[in-house]
Structure 1
Amino acid sequence: GVEIAAFTLVKEGVREISPELSTQETEKIIPRNEGGIPWFAITTISESPVTPGIIWIGTAGGKVWLTKNYGKNWTEMTQKIAGVGGPEKYYVSRVFASNFKEGTAYISKSGYRRDDFRPFLFKTTDLGSTWTSSTSILEAGDKEFKRKAKITKKAGWPVGPAGSSYEY
């Protein structure tokens, strides 16, 4: 089988810091209709600049993971995000740990591989215990949704492709 895990660089080389994080859909290793882009790969990683050791990971197969202790233990967030409208198997295009607020992170998902061009955006302020959907502020755009944001210590303003925006 194929193992997709997170690693960290150490003086001696590379050390694995996670268990298998993908969907294990080995039939999608080289999908014929996607030009060979693996569907199971880790697509995005973000470590909290506020709290060291907090690392968020997203995969092409739709999984979202969190570690609070440098990779010793991992918690899957996929079901909690699905509970507020996040399609489970949609590509995780970005995870972003807040630069200013402890426990806050943003997750975006994309369904472009399934001919669904709506973007999806989710936010947690409590290390993934609860999630809110901010998807309604976004508009369906091109296959590659361009993210623009103005983020300060007080607020964030994601801006959609047609100029729509929302203040956090």
Structure 2
Amino acid sequence: MARRRAEAADVPQTDEEAIALITEYVSAERETLLDRVTAEAAIDAIKSRLANVVTAREAEQKRRFSALKAWWEAGGKEHAGKARSAELAGAKLGLRVSPPKVKFTKGYTAEKALTWLRGLRWGRKKDFIRTKVELDKPAILKAIQAEESVKTKLGTAIYIDQPDEFFIDTGLDEDCIRKELAAS
């Protein structure tokens, strides 16, 4: 497949043309921001209404669940016969084994259990201890920028890349736009 060249940019030839293009750029950025903030406000309002409906429905579902659990324990389980669950009214209800969880005996926390396990003289203890090793990128950045010897030492595999980038700051403040929309 042949490579395509990017379409040539219509570069301003005078300061007036550049200022007009900048004005168009800022205007388009403002319109985009207004559209995005307006859409986000509408989405937030919908999500808020949905959250209210879901919260009310979840409370009612908890009540129903508790009532059905009590009914099951009081004799509804007879519908299952020798099985642990039964199909009733389009739903399957009954008992099931929950997923296994690692718990700690009285007086132990994860940290205490880890210390205890490390202290054991047992060849398999390493099977139950996980160690995460990763580069500390902020420390590398700081050290390379501060010390030439670190830069030299790490230079074989690691370097800092910080190219210049062209930018346009339109000065638009999203919070101010939100306040303007809320006021209108």
The interval holding the TM-score normalised by the smaller chain is: under 0.3
Normalized per residue, the structure richer in strand is 1
**Bigger proportion of residues as helix:** 2
Indicate the structure (1 or 2) with the bigger Cα radius of gyration.
Answer: 2
Q: Relative contact order (alpha carbons < 8 A, sep ≥ 6): 1 or 2 greater?
A: 2
- Please, what TM-score do these two structures have when normalized by structure 1? 0.14
TM-score for both structures, normalised by structure 2:
0.13
